[in-house]
Amino acid sequence: PKSPWGRFDPYNNNEDQDKEYVGFATLPNQVHRKSVKKGFDFTLMVAGESGLGKSTLVNSLFLTDLYKDRKLLNAEERITQTVEITKHTVDIEEKGVKLKLTIVDTPGFGDAVNNTECWKSVADYIDQQFEQYFRDESGLNRKNIQDNRVHCCLYFISPFGHGLRPLDVEFMKALHEKVNIVPVLAKADTLTPSEVKKKKIKIREEIEQYGIKIYQFPDCDSDEDEEFKQQDLELKESIPFAVIGSNTVVEAKGKRVRGRLYPWGIVEVENSAHCDFVKLRNMLVRTHMQDLKDVTRETHYENYRAQCIQSMTRMVVKERNRNKLTRESGTDFPIPVVPGVTDSETEKLIREKDEEVQHELESHQHQHGHSHKCEHSSEQYVCSNTQAGSETHSERTMEDEAL
Ligand code: GDP
């Protein structure tokens, strides 16, 4: 039987082999075994107006009924409903590899008469997951952290509009720095191939024009073969993926396939001549799942973490600043303890900020000729200052906002 350690077999006392290998060639196999044992997880969010086929597509993608106990609301209920976030988790297994899949849905999105800021609860949800992870990571037990961060958001664009609607632009712009957005053109079977082509071009242009940063597929290495490069190019040109979903199996050309049966014919979900469903599924599951997770961790979460540390630092500085302004003698005031902020990054920021504060205090004292002895609000402080003070104002307002 083939060795589970690859070409190098640590239990084989073959001298030739020992001469040839130190043994680190087994590292990928060790990683592989460990991760298979641990299992994988992935969190996918679906967003877009209700009725665009989100739940049908998710069921088609993972071949499971993730929405068994879903309650459909009537029009009146939908209008009054606010955007709520629902989470479904399933454990799926394929050839011994376990995947814990979480689907986050956003029912009610875009349903109200006034949809101003209806993306807010979605943004808050994503931030909450980051916050939870940040807390867990700074806590004592970091071993078994439950990672609920959202790795990808499939954003459904209506096939009936002329490109993006204002709500689509608003949503994507509000979320593009928090999550990997993958736009999809919903219900593509309602459009002819040339309409799909035109709409895709229009949507891609608008994404560019509005400065929306959707998920970028990583560039392929220069040593990749031509076939791979071609596939990569096709994938990039498929954006937004034109998708079709179906919960039913129909018979087409003697084969049973997932599709939609119309009086004039059958549209097959997994037929790449009919739509980009297979491309999307391959991208999500087979080729880019790990990259989506990496970008979430390395870019989106890192941004959140940096902002968090920055605002905590501002809090500390503000506190010290106030202490310095209110104290009468040269006694040192203690820095308030902020949980989880002990790393050198924070200390550096505090040092930098401290110097700024010192400078600010000096210029303030210079103007007033004495140290300020009051519990003044930021406005008072600004009012009594000249031009130099306007800078101070923005600084202070930022600190106030951070609080
Ligand atoms: P959701 O509210 O976005 O989750 O939408 P649903 O998945 O509940 O779908 C709403 C309706 O659209 C249902 O009647 C589906 O059968 C239908 N539907 C779903 N996907 C497609 C599709 O790709 N094409 C067409 N024509 N109809 C679809």
* Mean pLDDT over each residue of the chain, to the nearest integer: 77
Q: What is the pLDDT of residue 213?
A: 94
What atom in ligand 1 is closest to the CA of residue 105? Answer: 4
Q: What is the pLDDT of residue 253?
A: 81
- Please state the rounded mean pLDDT for residues 119-134: 91
Neighbours of 46 (CB within 10 A): 23
Confidence of residue 395 (pLDDT cuts 50, 70, 90): very low
Residue that wins the pLDDT comparison between 23 and 211: 211
Say what percent of the chain tops pLDDT 90. 33
Q: What is the pLDDT of residue 391?
A: 37
Report the separation in Å between the CA atom of 95 and the middle of ligand 1, taken as the mean of its atom positions: 31
85: which residues sit within 8 A by CB, 6+ positions away?
Answer: 104, 105, 106, 121, 122, 125
Report the separation in Å between the CA atom of 280 and the middle of ligand 1, taken as the mean of its atom positions: 17
Q: Could you tell me if the ipTM is greater than 0.90? A: yes
Is the pTM higher than 0.90? no
Ligand 1 binding pocket, CB closer than 6 Å:
50-56, 187, 189-190, 244-245
> pLDDT tens digits for 5-17?
566 566 666 666 6
Q: From atom 15 of ligand 1, which residue's Cα is the shortest distance away?
A: 53
Burial of 160 by CB count in 10 Å (0-12 exposed, 13-18 middle, 19+ buried)? exposed
For residue 186, the Cα-to-chain-centroid distance in whole angstroms is 21
Sign, CA torsion 198/115/152/216: positive
Adjacent-strand bridge partners of 256: 251
Distance CA 265, CA 27 (A): 52
Report the separation in Å between the CA atom of 293 and the middle of ligand 1, taken as the mean of its atom positions: 28
**Is residue 91 helix, strand or coil?**
strand
Report the separation in Å between the CA atom of 191 and the middle of ligand 1, taken as the mean of its atom positions: 15
Q: What is the pLDDT of residue 274?
A: 93
At 385, give phi and psi (nearest 5°). Answer: -110, 155
Distance CA 284, CA 61 (A): 9
Q: From atom 20 of ligand 1, which residue's Cα is the shortest distance away?
A: 53
> pLDDT tens digits for 172-187?
999 999 999 999 999 9
> pLDDT tens digits for 365-383?
666 554 433 333 333 323 3
DSSP at 262:
E
Q: Would you say residue 43 has pLDDT above 70?
A: yes
Of the residues 45, 56, 190, which should be mutated to test ligand 1's pocket, given the most ligand atoms within 8 Å of the CB? 56
What atom in ligand 1 is closest to the CA of residue 48? Answer: 3
Report the separation in Å between the CA atom of 235 and the middle of ligand 1, taken as the mean of its atom positions: 24
Q: What is the pLDDT of residue 112?
A: 62
> pLDDT tens digits for 209-237?
999 999 998 887 777 777 778 888 888 88
Neighbours of 243 (CB within 10 A): 27
Q: Would you say residue 350 has pLDDT above 50?
A: yes
> pLDDT tens digits for 72-114?
555 555 444 545 778 888 888 888 888 888 999 887 676 666 6
Q: What is the pLDDT of residue 157?
A: 95
What atom in ligand 1 is closest to the CA of residue 246? Answer: 20
